[in-house]
Amino acid sequence: MDNFFNFGAALASLWAGQRVSRAGWNGKGMYLDLQIPDGQSKMTRPYIFMSTVDGDLVPWVASQTDLLADDWSVVEQVTM
């Protein structure tokens, strides 16, 4: 059985340094990550970004469907 959860748990997972994804997304390999700016960043506040199917990193804005979904899960991070 998959370990799915709601967006509140997904957001907590992002703050804990994990990546999250939805089973309901059409593209494979898509995930969200949280960026915490540092002294070298142009941004001054934390923000969520998405890795797209093509591997591009783009700002992410939640839809109503995403916020109310209960098919979120943690994505294993691959280290090289």
Domain boundaries, the chain: 7-75
Give the pLDDT mean for 51-70.
Answer: 96
Whether residue 1 is predicted with pLDDT greater than 70 in this model: the reply is no
Give the pLDDT mean for 2-25.
Answer: 95
pLDDT of residue 77: 81
Provide CB contacts within 8 A for 73, sequence distance 6+: 2, 3, 4, 5, 20, 21, 22, 23
pLDDT in tens, 15-46: 999 999 999 998 889 999 999 999 999 999 99
pLDDT of residue 79: 62
- Place 13 in a pLDDT band, splitting at 50, 70 and 90: very high
